[in-house]
Amino acid sequence: MTNSELFALDKQYVLGTYARFPVAIERIEGSTAYDFDGRKYIDFTSGIGVNSVGGANPRWIAAVTEQAQKLAHISNLFYTEPGARLAQRLCEKTGMAGVFFSNSGAESNEALIKLARKYSFDKYGPGRACVVTLEGSFHGRTVTTLSATGQDKFHNFFFPFTEGFRFTPANDIAALEKALGNDVCALIMEPVQGEGGVLPLDGGFIAAAEKLCREKDILLMFDEVQTGVGRTGKLFAYQHFGVKPDAVSFAKGIAGGLPLGGILAAESCRDVLGAGTHATTFGANPICTAAANAVLDILEDGVLDSVSEKGAYIRSRIENMGLGCIAGTRGLGLMIGIPVKGVSHSEAAKKLISAGVLILTAGADALRMLPSLTISREEIDEGLDIFEKTLKGAAI
């Protein structure tokens, strides 16, 4: 099949929910992708942060293959090993008490919301169902996680939305204090807003949020669907800030390319979701959780330690290119936002992709890079050389 045959097939039979770039990827090795016509691309997207250990990673392939030969699925009515082992490792690395596994980021955030409301209902009865989130946040595409998302453009068409969400501006402690009223059970925040523009929260704001939450027994929760699993240089981004959340969601990078998500709950929330209160058929799927164990093995093998340095290298190279259309860089670890000026972020992304660099956008003005955590120095340099050459022409 050629690129253009695939474009036509997809356009005819797949619902048009995605405004795709005109590129069809056939395979990826590490952070180097190839299309159906054999053209090469340096991948700075890792499939939106999912291919955390790169394409065709041999240790990941071995783990997935071995598990597929033993047990692909049996349901959560029975015990299986890879999920239990993964839960143990995640708890030991974070000091959390337990894990619930789901299949996506939105579903993981749904679990956070259910956990928060039940924690409060069990302890205080009705009237404390409100969940506070941040303006500019992104929490998913289900009706309830759209409701939790603090961006007006997502609150359209699908009425009626779920009640019980309140938005407050990021990094504004006085506004947060007002938002955390007596009707609130939880505060959910992304440590670095991803879709909203790669905007890190201030450490002081996170510390103040923890203090305010503790005073009122409001649960402090992080949506680490994008920031988790080593993306920012720690296993979870909240670990940069010295806080102890009550629960944390994760998804994207956890299984290195297979669908898996979940939440980590602290001792405070260990027993809130008892038998029969929450479930999902595919959750803790043995192949997905075996893949996630391989991802943790690879991160432990020096990859996690390389993330901050790789991120700093990419940012300093970009900042030193002297490009007129680049207004700086921001982010944490290998979650990099590059605000552009004089050109729209989507135009810049289109130019870069057609020049051979896969890249994302975020918020109103930024290009976004979420490379595989295993990306090599050679791949970084090759991609940044193309980036520099391509955007030189776009300078104002």
Ligand X SMILES: *Cc1c(COP(=O)(O)O)cnc(C)c1O
What residues line the site for ligand X (CB under 6 A)? 104-106, 109, 138-140, 190, 194-195, 223, 225-226, 251-252
Residues 6+ apart with CB under 8 A from 61: none
CB 42 within 8 A of CB 382: yes
Residue (109 or 239) nearer to ligand X, CB: 109
**Residues 64, 70, 73, 79, CA torsion sign:** negative
Q: How far is the CB of 124 from ligand X (least distance, A)?
A: 27
* Closer of 184 and 360 to ligand X (Cβ): 360
Instruction: Tell me the closest approach of the beta carbon of residue 263 to ligand X, in angstroms.
Output: 12
CA distances from 4 to 9, 328, 335 (A): 9, 36, 32
Q: Do 191 and 232 touch, CB atoms closer than 8 A?
A: yes
Token pair 């999912």: residue: 50
Q: Closest residue to ligand X, Cβ-based? A: 105
Q: How far apart are the C-alpha atoms of 140 and 107, rounded to whole Å?
A: 8
CB of 175 to ligand X, least distance (A): 21
Give the shortest CB-104-to-ligand X separation in angstroms: 4
Supply the DSSP string of 154-198, one letter for each residue: GSSSSPSPPS-EEEE-TT-HHHHHHHS-TTEEEEEE-SEETTTTS
Rounded CA Rg of the chain: 21
Q: Let me know: does 267 contact 275? Beta carbons within 8 Å.
A: no
User: Nearest approach, Cβ of 231 to ligand X (angstroms)?
Assistant: 10
Give the nearest distance from C-beta 255 to ligand X in angstroms.
11
Q: Between residues 67 and 226, which has the closer beta carbon with respect to ligand X?
A: 226
* CB nearer to ligand X: pick between 150 and 379: 150
Q: Are 46 and 370 in contact (CB under 8 A)?
A: yes
Token pair 């990419």 is found at: 314
Write down the least CB distance from residue 149 to ligand X, Å. 8
Nearest to ligand X of 128, 240 (CB atom)? 240
Nearer to ligand X, 140 or 323 (CB): 140
* β-pair type (165-168, 130-134): parallel
User: Among residues 192 and 380, whose Cβ is nearest to ligand X?
Assistant: 192
**Dihedral (CA of 110, 112, 118, 120) sign:** negative
